[in-house]
Structure 1
Amino acid sequence: MGRAPILCMQIDEDLQLRLLETCYAEEYYRLIDRNRTHLGRWMPWVKYENSPETTKAYIHQSLVHFANDEAMQTSIWYRGQLIGSIGFPRLHWSDRTAEIGYWLDAEAQGRGVITRACRALINYAFERYNMNKVEIHTAVGNVRSRAVPERLGFTLESIIPQHQWLHDRYVDVVIYGLFRRDWQG
């Protein structure tokens, strides 16, 4: 029997969020590699995840950020299988704002996994971290990703033209926000 994860949030009987740890590096890398085309469409970081070693280095760095209360990256487990990642890539303590970022295996889409995981992280941000606001940033053209904050009651706050370099062009980024006072979680 393996050791228990450092941090594990049981969302429901099928869904779990575990702190992204180095013991998951090879499996995490294989998931990224299997979804390289799918993820590469909107995630510029995919091109840098080109070996289990680079993935392990990324995970190690994310654990340093977690230990320093700068970020929190979790892996998404559905029925015992690693299927994606969600977390707080940035925790802005000075203004009490957390940003949520996520990605999911192409085969796991359409089950409400990201919506349920986001709901859990929103609660975590407001209850555990005492944040005032949660944001989700995504490319304007990423319709599936945009549907999540819209479904959860976020407000579209702004569109920043040509904000992110994506492979060979700039893309506009939309910022959604949700204040603690408005959360119906």
Structure 2
Amino acid sequence: MRKLLPWLDSTTKIEDTTELIKGCLKGFAENKSLTSVILFEGKIVGVAGYNDINWANKTAYIQYWLGEGFQGHGIMTAVAKTLTHYAFDELGLNKVEIRAAVGNKKSRAIPERLNYVNEGCIRQAEWLYDHYVDHVVYGILGEEWKGK
């Protein structure tokens, strides 16, 4: 996971995780984000949610990660589907986006499975340790989601 998540090296102590959780709770209290753990068979196996909710543009940005031993079972596809439903049906948003590094085939497969539209590539979108990576942007509109 390290090669795709730049924050892992700076999360080495319990205090680092405590600060991350505080930031997530603050974002939720301010109605700017939503972060939740993913439970599978009673164990925390990952995290998913909206790392940003842009109320002015009625857009949510889904972000996720899943422990390696739990990949390939449809867990994250189900989570992303639920988050997409929630954004449209409960929050009344217009669009949901998922961004993934070009080389992250597993992460990219999720929006593709859910019929998100590949809206293009953001070049050098993220610095990962010693190089930049490009991101593919996937999006789906509420009217497209409800029409499927």
The TM-score with structure 2 as length reference comes to 0.97
Look up the SS of the partner of 2:140 in the other structure.
strand
Q: For 2:72, what is the secondary structure of its paired residue?
A: coil
- The 2-side partners of 1:118 and 1:147 are apart by 11
Corresponding position of 1:61: 23
Distance 1:47 1:130 in 2: 37
> Percent same amino acid among aligned pairs?
38
What RMSD in Å do the two structures reach over aligned CA positions?
Answer: 0.9
CA distance in 2, matches of 1:46, 1:157: 28
Give per-residue Cα distances to partners, 1:122-151, cap 9 Å, x unaligned. 111011111100000110000000000000
Structure 2: any 5+ residue segments left out of the alignment? Answer: none
1:49-87 Cα offsets, whole Å, 9 max, x none, are 111111011101110110000000000000101000000
Number of residue pairs the alignment of both structures matches: 147
Note if 1:154 corresponds to 2:121: no
The equivalent residue for 1:17 is: none
In structure 2, distance between residues paired with 1:117 and 1:43 = 19
What is the aligned partner in structure 1 of residue 41 from structure 2? 79
Q: Equivalent residue for 1:8?
A: none
Q: CA deviation at 1:94?
A: 0.4
Which stretches of structure 1, 4 residues or more, deviate above 4 A after TM superposition? none
After TM superposition, the structure 1 = structure 2 runs for residues 36-185 of structure 1, keeping only pairs within 5 Å, are 39-184=1-146
Counterpart Cα distance in 2 of 1:114 and 1:151: 11
Unaligned runs of 5+ in 1: 1-38
In 2, Cα distance between equivalents of 1:179 and 1:47? 35
TM (normalized to structure 1)? 0.78
The amino acid of 1:154's aligned partner reads Y
Q: Give 3-state SS (helix, strand or coil) of 1:120's partner.
A: helix
